Amino acid sequence: MNTNETINKLLAKDVSWLEPDGNHDDIAICSRIRLARNIEGISFPIVADADQRSEICDMIRTTVINSECLDKPEMFFKMNELSALHRKLLLERRLISNELSGAPQGSALIVADGENSSIMINEEDHLRLQVLYPGLDLEQAWLKISHIDDCLSERLAFAYDSRLGYLTSCPSNIGTGIRASVMLHLPGLILSEQINAAMHGIRTLGLTVRGIYGEGSENHGGLFQISNQSTLGESELMIIERLTSVIRQLITHEKNARVMMLEHNKHIILNHVGRAYGRLRHAFVLGIEEALNSLSALRMGVDLKMFTALDIRTINDLFIKINPAHLLLIAGKPLNDLEQNIKRADVVRETLRRLESEAKN
């Protein structure tokens, strides 16, 4: 299967981690855990040459294929064989990092069916294992990624120090090598102007706040990625338990903010959601930031039972489909900025129209 066929296969499948779990009124969109690992006795990717990186990539791919470490069937992508558009697509689907997107020869990605588990090869480290689960479910994500880690460690000798733990390229990952994060939708805290205080409190607890695409990305659409900052000195379960506790508090604050606004400023929320729906349903030109912020308002409206024809899963899907690479692949041709904005409006408008039509029938 060539690269275009594999990309089309990826696009044709539903993303399993976007399925709402219903446990927290869908404020928690998804949970993700990454583990950084390196192979003992082999140069780390940041100092390895192209031939070494290619050999490492082939070794890891062969190991994964000949094992049952990932759910089958797997999709495989070599970064240097992907176009800039295809790399952007993988980034938009949260399958790769910015670092891997720009990595040189010998870097690759293995994706399991459903996109809930994957392995980045020769990013900062030889392996970056990744698991994504819907909602707030770091415990299940940990069980899954721990199984993958154990499975691979039976076949690959990971670089490990009895005092420091797992050895990694970045000092901040030394120890457990774990990065756990939860993507939250927090429009209530934004509307009630409590978001800055909440994020300040998060940072004082030693946690990191990022945008939807991780480090360096902005917070649009009311989406915030909360993750642990340190990996040394605590066990994986301690890190997960501490992060889960903080996330649950944030979810409670978000719910309370919505309740207070409905009780005291009901028309502010109704106007916010109503204007967003009108914009998305009838606009013929939509910029990415405007679309994300409007979808955020619409998603809150769906969560608050303001609509009968709309559902959270469709809104979640739109958060991904309105991004530039997805739009270009949907269109099947190059689009300038204005044409992208037109196509984005078309995709959203037609999706909402279809849902309304289905509800009537």
pLDDT in tens, 215-254: 555 667 899 999 998 777 889 999 999 999 999 999 999 9
Residue 111 phi, psi dihedral angles, 5° rounding: -120, 130
CA gyration radius, the chain? 21
Say yes or no: 43 and 186 in one domain: yes
Tell me the DSSP string of 189-253.
Answer: HHHTT-HHHHHHHHHHTTEEEEBTTBTT----TTEEEEEE---SSS-HHHHHHHHHHHHHHHHHH
**Tally of structural domains, the chain:** 2
- What pLDDT score was predicted for residue 9? 84
C-alpha distances out from residue 49 to 5, 44, 56, 101, 261, Å: 30, 10, 11, 18, 57
Identify the domain containing residue 76 by its residue range: 3-257
Say yes or no: 204 and 292 in one domain: no
Say yes or no: 251 and 142 in one domain: yes
Say yes or no: 20 and 118 in one domain: yes
Q: Which residue has the tokens 């140069």?
A: 43
Token pair for 149: 């880690």
Say yes or no: 139 and 231 in one domain: yes
- What pLDDT score was predicted for residue 13? 80
Say yes or no: 168 and 306 in one domain: no
Q: At what angle do helices 266-282 and 288-303 cross, to 10 degrees?
A: 130
Beta bridge partners of 139: none
- What pLDDT score was predicted for residue 198? 94
Of 62, 52, 37, 242, nearest to 159 by C-alpha is: 37
CB within 8 Å of 127: residues ≥ 6 apart: 35, 36, 37, 38, 39, 60, 119, 120, 121, 152
Q: Using CA atoms, how far apart are residues 138 and 93, in angstroms rounded to an integer?
A: 19
Q: Do 64 and 70 meet the contact criterion of CB atoms below 8 Å apart?
A: yes
Say yes or no: 215 and 319 in one domain: no
Confidence of residue 73 (pLDDT cuts 50, 70, 90): confident
Say yes or no: 272 and 185 in one domain: no
Tell me the DSSP string of 85-100.
Answer: HHHHHHHHTTSS-HHH
Residue 190 has pLDDT above 70, yes or no: yes
Q: pLDDT averaged over the chain?
A: 92
117-121-123-129 Cα dihedral, nearest 10 degrees: 30
- What pLDDT score was predicted for residue 1? 66
Residue 32 phi, psi dihedral angles, 5° rounding: -135, 140
Say yes or no: 272 and 251 in one domain: no
Last residue of a domain, one of 257, 289, 317: 257
Confidence of residue 23 (pLDDT cuts 50, 70, 90): low
Residue 166 has pLDDT above 90, yes or no: yes
Q: Using CA atoms, how far apart are residues 188 and 148, in angstroms rounded to an integer?
A: 37
Confidence of residue 10 (pLDDT cuts 50, 70, 90): confident
Q: Using CA atoms, how far apart are residues 269 and 174, in angstroms rounded to an integer?
A: 45
Say yes or no: 221 and 280 in one domain: no
SS3 125: coil
Q: What distance lies between CA 261 and its chain's CA centroid?
A: 29
Residue 285 has pLDDT above 70, yes or no: yes
Say yes or no: 271 and 249 in one domain: no
State in Å, rounded, how far the first CA of the chain is from the last one.
40
**Proportion of the chain above pLDDT 90, given as a percent:** 78
Compute the average pLDDT of residues 61-77.
Answer: 89
Token pair for 241: 């338990």
Comparing 25-34, 175-184, 290-299, 326-335, which segment has the lowest mean pLDDT?
25-34
Say yes or no: 212 and 275 in one domain: no
Token pair for 257: 């903010």
Q: Do 126 and 60 meet the contact criterion of CB atoms below 8 Å apart?
A: yes
Neighbours of 139 (CB within 10 A): 14
Residue 189 has pLDDT above 60, yes or no: yes
CATH code for the domain in which residue 57 is found? 3.30.590.10
Last residue of a domain, one of 257, 281, 311: 257
What count of Cα atoms within 13 Å lies in the side-chain half-sphere of residue 202? 29
